Amino acid sequence: MSFQDSMKKKKLFNPEGNDTLSERKIVGGNTTNLFNLNNTSFKWATKLYRVMMENFWIPEKVDLSMDSQDYSKLDEHEVRAFDGILSFLVFLDSIQTNNLPKISEYITAPEISLVLAIQTFQEAVHSQSYAYIIDTLIPSEKRSKIYDFWRDDEILFKRNKFIAQVYQDFHDNDSNENFLKVLVADYLLEAIYFYNGFCFFYSLASRNLMQGTADVIKYINRDELTHVLLFGNLIKGLKAEGAMLPDDFVYDMFDTAVKQEIEWAQHILGDEIIGINGKTTEQYTKQLANKRLTSLGYKPLYEGFDHNPYTQFEKIGDIHGHGDVRSNFFEGSVTSYNQSSSVDGWDEI
């Protein structure tokens, strides 16, 4: 049976299911939904499961007391960027939390369903993290404006709509094409959309501002890296199972996402943030997109964009995920809040 013939929801209770490794598929298998984790086919999923479980963290363990003072020190451009990026992150992680269970309805490899369930939990933790930041730092009269900023800002609404509409189309019509499109959209959200915003928080931390917030973002950043790996492996695995993902299909979605990410970053950050400007925003976003495309087995889309202008922020944010999330650069409770890591580097996954 081809992938094109296999798109249907899996049964929840399926006594006639066949969970043998020879019959196991990402989509279109005949699963009983039994989580037999001693007998798995997709080893990348079992490794990723361990990493994601080891990365468990609690937002309220991070001390934001100094950030309350720092927030009043930000200039008007930094306050606007801080509030706007928070609104963007809240929206995306909220909609992601609600979208992932729909995808899981079609995943017939139990080890992958389990990892998707963990990601759903992590996205909920991220939303709670933003609520913790907003509740701690933002005056009460401003909080609703942050949550509603995505409705009122035309550019943010347009870029949120791009991903959200792909998700909604899949919920309305779960065709093969919409399923593949939603997987690419998920990958773009996890692999492209967050990172200029992350760099903004790291840029503040490099000036000894909002260090607690940056620590929260570091934990979120670490989770997102596992989500990039998850959807990257899903896309590559489905291609191996016969899913048709034409190059133009992928490149068009990437190019739209990259253009919107650059437009949004330049709109909310502009040239007013120390260490960040329109040129570095374009350079960073396009080189990141090239890196993500290469990891999926596609050729880079943007010729000449292979340099990361924010290497100084990577050291602060541990963006590549190597080692512990703790950093000697930061002070506060997070440095003693032990978070474990089950692998030494992402190359092991």
Q: State the catalytic residues.
A: 130
CA separation (Å) from 207 to 40, 81, 203, 274, 281? 47, 16, 7, 9, 19
**DSSP one-letter string for 240-261:** HTT----HHHHHHHHHHHHHHH
Rounded CA gap, 69 and 74, in Å? 10
Please tell me what DSSP assigns to residue 192: I
Report the chain's C-alpha Rg in angstroms.
20
Rounded CA gap, 141 and 292, in Å? 40
* Residue matched to tokens 């773009």: 188
Please tell me what DSSP assigns to residue 27: B
Q: Which residues contact 103 (CB under 8 A, 6 or more apart)?
A: 116, 179, 182, 183, 186
Rounded CA gap, 17 and 267, in Å? 52
Of 157, 184, 182, 165, nearest to 260 by C-alpha is 157
Judge whether 159 and 261 are in contact, CB under 8 Å: yes
Please tell me what DSSP assigns to residue 342: S
Rounded CA gap, 181 and 249, in Å? 8
Rounded CA gap, 80 and 87, in Å? 11
- What tokens were used for 243? 């899913």
